[in-house]
Amino acid sequence: MSLNENNEKKKNTEVLLKLPIGEKKLIEYNFPKEWNNLQEIDDANPDFSIEKTSKKGYDSIFYFIEKNTDDFFNSLNYNKKEVIDASKKEVEILLKLYDSSVVLDSVYYAGTISKTPNYIVKLYKNGDKYKSILGSGNGKSSFNYLCLATFNNEDVLIDSKIIYYNNYDDIQSYKRFFYIDENLKLYLKDFTVNELNTEIFCKTNIEITEKGFFNKK
């Protein structure tokens, strides 16, 4: 297949995602370092919504951020013919939170977010290779994640960043949620959740350089 034919094939399978992406409430609320979890959340109540939640109702806000981000993840389809592996450095940092029992699938093309003269921004979603052991507490376990990636005009990978993960562990879980604004500025917040408390353990703001690299601000 020629380069032009390959480009045309990719164009025909391209999915365009519109900015902003993610839950803006993530950056609108000033979360404390740590807060107590609610024992019950009445999500069947029609008056229970993120718009009606007090700015100090941190657990309710967190519930909606997680739900809306998970819903976005689940709404994405992916193309198994276009696959990348998240950077080794990114994966190693993430897996330090866990033990050697965690296994991760590769990520597959889910959509194109932006095209600039110097680079293209795409979103990738993990496959279902380990779907049966998501959140598993016995032996091997896995979790869902999203990866943002930049490519040059020859479709060569420049850089990648894991922007979302959720491991659904009932005892101790780690979660990352995101918001990407209209200017491609990326906001990440990492949380750890146990049976009693939720804690923010990392906040990261990222901009994409002219050469397509993710740069912390």
138-175: pLDDT as tens digits? 667 778 899 999 999 999 999 999 999 988 776 788 99
87-99: pLDDT as tens digits: 888 878 777 776 6
Task: Look at residue 50 in the predicted model and tell me its pLDDT.
Answer: 53
Strand, helix or coil for residue 130: coil
Q: Strand (E) positions, 100-213? A: 107-115, 120-126, 144-151, 157-166, 172-180, 186-194, 197-208
| pLDDT tier at 35, thresholds 50, 70, 90 | confident
| pLDDT tier at 136, thresholds 50, 70, 90 | low
Task: Look at residue 102 in the predicted model and tell me its pLDDT.
Answer: 76
Break the chain into its structural domains and give their ranges: 3-216
Give bridge partners of residue 141 from the DSSP assignment: 102
Tell me the pTM.
0.86
Alpha carbon distance 15, 26 (integer Å): 25
